[in-house]
Amino acid sequence: MSVMLSVGIKKFDLLSDTASITALKEGVRELNTQETLVWTQIKLSDTDWTSDADVYNNIDKNLGRGYRWNPGPAIGGGTLHYKSRSVVLVRNESTRNSVGSWL
């Protein structure tokens, strides 16, 4: 019985870890979607291009429950955490001709 319980716990830990990694990937995807949306809105506005700081400042970096930044986020990136997993992100700036990205 204890062997089955041990195997079950290990499988649960593996699934939980996999889910956290997937959540981090989805968080990065959301940041990139936000970056593209804000950049496009600025480009299509009457004022056209302003600055990378304006793009960054208008991105919603609050990804929801379970996510946290430590430190950051900052205009150049930061460490994104979800539950027990984390990823260090670098943000490439947006320019007049190209949208930035979070890697």
Domain boundaries, the chain: 2-102
Residue-by-residue pLDDT tens, the chain, 103 positions: 554 545 444 444 545 688 999 999 999 999 999 999 999 999 999 987 889 999 999 999 999 999 999 988 999 999 999 998 999 999 999 999 999 999 9
Grouping H, G, I as helix, E, B as strand and the rest as coil, residue 76 is: coil
Kindly provide the residue ranges of all beta strands, DSSP E only, lying in the chain, ordered along the sequence.
67-69, 77-82, 85-92, 101-102
Strands 101-102 and 77-82: unpaired
Query: Side by side, which strands form the sheet with 77-82?
Result: 67-69, 77-82, 85-92, 101-102
- The whole-model pTM stands at 0.84
